[in-house]
Structure formats: C-alpha cells, structure tokens
Amino acid sequence: MAEAGPQGGSPFATTSLPGVQHVIAVGAGKGGVGKSTVAVLAAVGLMRRGHKVGLLDADVYGPSLPKLTGTEDLQPDLGPDGRIIPPEFHGIKLISMGHIVSPNDAVVWRGPMAQKYVKEFLDRGQWAPLDYLIVDLPPGTGDIPLTLAQTIPLTGAVVVCTPQDVALLDAVRALRMYQKLGVEPLGIVENMSYYVCPHCGHRDEIFSHGGAHKAAQELGVPFLGSIPLNIALRRHGDMGRPLANFTEVEPSVLATLEEFIGHLAEQVQQQAAQGARLPTLEIT
C-alpha cells in the first residue's frame, strides 16, 4: 500500500527540477471540463506578468496542448548534450506527446510506459530557467494521474471543474487524491461558469453556478475564480491563438482571467513563504 509520508521515497520520484522554481499541476476529476484550456490560460497569464513559464503536457492519451497553442507543426529538438529542447510559443516552453505522434494516431500504452515518457520529458527537458512549470495532468484519479502526481515534484495542484453537481463530485475526489499524496491544493477554479450573450448582455448559468465556490469553502481550500463559457475563448482555442484570450476578448472576460491568474500567483507565493516540503512517497 502506498501512503504519503515525510520519509522514504518512490523508486520513480524526481526530487527536484534544477532551475525550475514552481511546478503546478492542473488536474480534474473527469474529462471535458476544460482542464487543458485552463492550463494554457495559466501559462499565458503568468507569462504576461513577466514570468518565465513552461508547459508539460502529461495527458499522453489526449494531448491537446499543441492544438490549443498553435504548435502542431513543431517538434522538440535534441541538444548536443542529449537534452530535449522544447518548442516555444510566445516564449513559453512546451513539450507534448502531440508533438511526437500524429494527431490521428492513438497512444495505446499501459500506465508504466506513459509514466516513463513523462518522466523522460521532465528529466531530459531543457526547462531551466523557469519561474513556473505548468503540468497538464490526465483527468481522473486512476493510475496515470496518481503515478504522475507521485513522480513530479509539485508545488501544488489546481483542480478544474464545471458547476454541475456530478462534475463537482469528481473534482472533490481529485482534490482528495492530491491531499492523500501530500500535494498542497492551490485551489479550485470553476470553468464554463456562466454564459453572457455578446449581443444583448443577458447572463445564463447554463450548468448552474457557484458550486465550485461552495465546495472550496466546505473543503477549506482557496477558490481561484470563475471562467465564463465564452465564444472568443473557444474560437481562440480552436485556432491555436492563446495570447488572443487576453487581448481580443470582452473586458469582463479579461477581468475574470486576470482574477484567476492573480489568485493562482498569490497562492503559489503563500506556499513558497510557508516553505512547504515537497511530498514524497513511502512504501509500506
């Protein structure tokens, strides 16, 4: 049985990433809640604040970051020292399985193989120097996200959910998984929180609203913000124009994104000030 503890360590555990100050996991209890979109928003938002940022696409079975970032035609290079040189967009380093396999090919691997490749991206990636490395984890609480959360030296985790009760139940399970692993929850973000008609301004709470805020209060974790269901965000994602999410959206949408980024950065700095120890894994 594997338990989180202050002593010992997993045989696969990466103890540190030299030159990387903070590693943030973005996870979800289920797929389809916009986890990868939130990971990209976090990376671009932090970059816009002057930070050096990297993105690791650990969702090896559904790598969508190349599409969302417009880097589908790019591939990693190998340096003379054998290290992987990540492609970049807007100065953000990115490594994804989607840069290696064809978009039409299915990645059919068992858990240990997927974990091996992600660890290779971590250990051999030429990440440094970075202020933030955002890791887009696979959804759920199964073997892959569990193993990766144990493998990666995480500063903390962001859990993404939508407002429906079913989605919130899954988000709570994901949050509990990180807590059991000793990974500090940085907070919950509610995606597709509401819809505002761009023509008349009418607001519709299509999937209900506020459930994530209530869940965060009940669980005693920070609420990072509400991101609306917005046509421009969808369009920019489909077109691979991540920076446009901050430069070509309505002021109200930009305000929600900036609020999310501000709360995220604040929670990371609080964690750093507390000097939280990296989680390790004890095998008993």
> What integer is the mean pLDDT of 218-225?
92
Beta 77-78 vs 84-85: how paired, if at all? Answer: antiparallel
Query: What percent of the chain has a predicted confidence (pLDDT) above 90?
Result: 48
Task: With CA atoms as reference, report the closest residue to 149 among 123, 170, 175, 113.
Answer: 175
Query: Is the pLDDT at 32 greater than 60, yes or no?
Result: yes
Choose the weakest-confidence range: 17-31, 49-63, 166-180, 254-268. 166-180
5: buried, middle or exposed (CB in 10 Å: 19+, 13-18, 0-12)?
Answer: middle
Q: Residue 275: which pLDDT band, with cuts at 50, 70 and 90? A: low
Q: What phi and psi, each to the nearest 5 degrees, are found at residue 271?
A: -60, -45
Find the DSSP H helices in 35-164. Answer: 35-48, 65-69, 111-124, 143-151
Cβ neighbours, 10 Å, residue 91: 8
> Fold for domain 19-273?
Rossmann fold (3.40.50)
